[in-house]
Chains A and B, each alone.
Chain A
Amino acid sequence: MGGIFGPLLLIGSMLLLVMLGVPIAYAIGIATLITALYIGIPLEAILLKVSDGVDNFSLLAIPFFVFAGALMAQGGMAWRLVNFANIFVGFIRGGLAMVNILASMFFGGISGSSVADVSSIGSILIPMMKKEGYDDEFSVNITITSATQGIVIPPSHNAVIYSYAAGGAVSIASLFLAGFIPGVMIGLSLMVLSFIISTKRKYPKGKMVPLREAIRISGQALLGLVTVIIIVGGVIGGIFTATESSAIAVVYSFVVTLFVYRDFKYRQLPGLLHGVVKTVSIVMILIGFAAGFAYLMALMQVPAKATKFFLSISNNKYVILALINLMLLILGTIMDMAPLLLICTPIMLPVVTSFGIHPVHFGIIMMLNLSIGLVTPPVGSTLFVGCAIGEVSIERVSRKLWPFWFAMLTILMLVTYFPFFAMWIPTVFGGF
């Protein structure tokens, strides 16, 4: 098990199967089985690891986050947040672009999924922006890049996946806290950029919302934003676990959308559950097979070998971080976030911790980095959804993506090389 062929077989066969088009979860499972047969591990042991992978109470936060987000999205939260954001930034030059970014910042706190964000906020704002004279490509680009804020802004189900992939030793509460400033930094950088572009292209200004109207809109939106307080406050305050707080958020979202907003009807529940099942099951089965994969990696000492390999390249942590960032950026353009978090974390975390980088800081670096991949061709799920909603070709949008991409990359570099941005809030709250 100490040789190099086993790890090469595991990772190489997984990559080959993924490139062949096998669903990623099953590709990970098949690669694990092939390698287990090669190194002589009983397949029963692999299946036990797969079942242990999903047999985990803390992981249930993932389906509940998605469920609560879907309830809020279908229950009319998206347009309420759009109206709420309009109060603060709608009157500025390029106001609708600003509203788009701010609404995504709020919505990210509820949903944590960039695809859900683009589907909800984008389907309201992209047509509106186009009607007001904003360029098609600009409208889509601002929507998809601002949607990535939700990946790091708490609560984020990707933080739960990272915490799990890191062996459960990284606190979810700390990851939630650490994601706040980087998420807001992405939003602010996009706001500055969109203001510059809007001024140059003379995009329209909106109107100030009258005070009475603003109070009414705020009341409705804040009722939904309480979900964020329940989840984040509950976890950070140590009142609930992440799983418990997300389950409470589901019940709360259900009550608010059904009885207060009244935009969600009982009869819509089966359809909503159908959609949520189709989203969460693919992640859960991925986690199951990734548990078997991680078990073999640990048996074959892949993390230790990876650390040795990186140390042979350089012993400078900034060089290593640059290399890892580059590798993640490339991988992120062709593969999605959840599988990459599950596969790369067990390999890379021991490498970066050996250089003194905090696991919470690295988690935020990984999430920020991989979120760039979601809007970057050739494979960017958020980009695809945005283009479909905006009815613009991927080629046209991608050609004008670079200023937004550059803004996100700048934030990634700042967060990577200045740990303060990620680690300040967790430190203030008393530890990791």
Chain B
Amino acid sequence: MTSRYIKLMDLLYFICVFIAGGALFIMSTIIAWGVFTRYILESGSFWPEPISIFLAIQLTFYGAAACYRAGTHISLQMFAQMLPAPLKRWQRHVVDLLMAAICLFMVTYGASLVKTTYFQAYPEFQYIRVGVAYSAIPIAGLITLLFVIEKVVIRPSLPTAKEGDI
């Protein structure tokens, strides 16, 4: 059961990285294409900008979920490390609980946002519904919640975040 759950999380992690990485690659290509059509073909394309905005939302939320599992979010560990050992364990539990809470917020209110905006289309590009773009919020929130559960129940040694800058 445990190993199956970890395998499932590995798969979800791969999917998140794939979506975010793919979004980044496509965005950089289509925006450059937009410039090419404007200056070389002299007929500017209207679609690279709305599609890029759609992809930026996917990159942000799926990428952030993957970063949680990879433990690469920026955090400040200095004060937590000063705590005595028994308090340190509690500190980790509180952090996990707070992470679960914000994931639940993303799932609940994100789903409500998707529902509200589902039939709205981007003014510049009618083929993409705003709700579909925002679906990344509840889905990535749910995936992050599953990663939190994995960390709490199965692999407490996984780092939550690191100290660092981009």
Using CB atoms and an 8 Å cutoff, list the residues of chain A in contact with chain B.
17-27, 29-30, 33, 43-44, 46-48, 50-51, 54-57, 59-60, 63-64, 66-67, 113-115, 157, 240, 243-244, 247-248, 250-251, 269-270, 273-274, 276-286, 288, 334-339, 374, 378-379, 381-382, 384-385
Q: Which residue of B lies closest to A284 (CB)?
A: B60
Instruction: Contact check, B113 vs A55: say whether CB atoms are below 8 A apart.
Output: no
Instruction: Contact check, B79 vs A336: say whether CB atoms are below 8 A apart.
Output: no
**Contact residues on B (Cβ < 8 Å of other chain), bracket:** 35 or more
CA distance A345 to B156 in the complex (A): 36
B contact patch SS: helix
Residue B134 at the A interface, CB < 8 A? yes
For B62, the chain A residues whose CB sits under 8 A away are 281
For B72, the chain A residues whose CB sits under 8 A away are 278-279, 282
Least distance between B94 CB and chain A CB atoms (Å):
6
For A243, the chain B residues whose CB sits under 8 A away are 31
Least distance between B2 CB and chain A CB atoms (Å):
25
Least distance between B20 CB and chain A CB atoms (Å):
4
For A274, the chain B residues whose CB sits under 8 A away are 17, 21
Least distance between B72 CB and chain A CB atoms (Å):
5
Can you list 10 A-B contacts with CB-CB less than 8 angstroms, sorted by A residue number?
A25-B74, A27-B75, A51-B134, A54-B56, A250-B32, A274-B21, A285-B63, A286-B74, A336-B164, A379-B76
Q: Which of B24, B133, B134 contacts A276 (CB 8 A)?
A: B24
Instruction: Contact check, B28 vs A67: say whether CB atoms are below 8 A apart.
Output: yes
CA distance A121 to B73 in the complex (A): 24
Q: Which of B59, B77, B102 contacts A281 (CB 8 A)?
A: B59
119-153 of chain B: CB within 8 A of chain A:
133-134, 137
Instruction: Contact check, B166 vs A279: say whether CB atoms are below 8 A apart.
Output: yes
Instruction: Contact check, B56 vs A284: say whether CB atoms are below 8 A apart.
Output: yes
Instruction: Contact check, A280 vs B63: say whether CB atoms are below 8 A apart.
Output: yes
Q: Which of A51, A279, A283, A339 contacts B113 (CB 8 A)?
A: A51
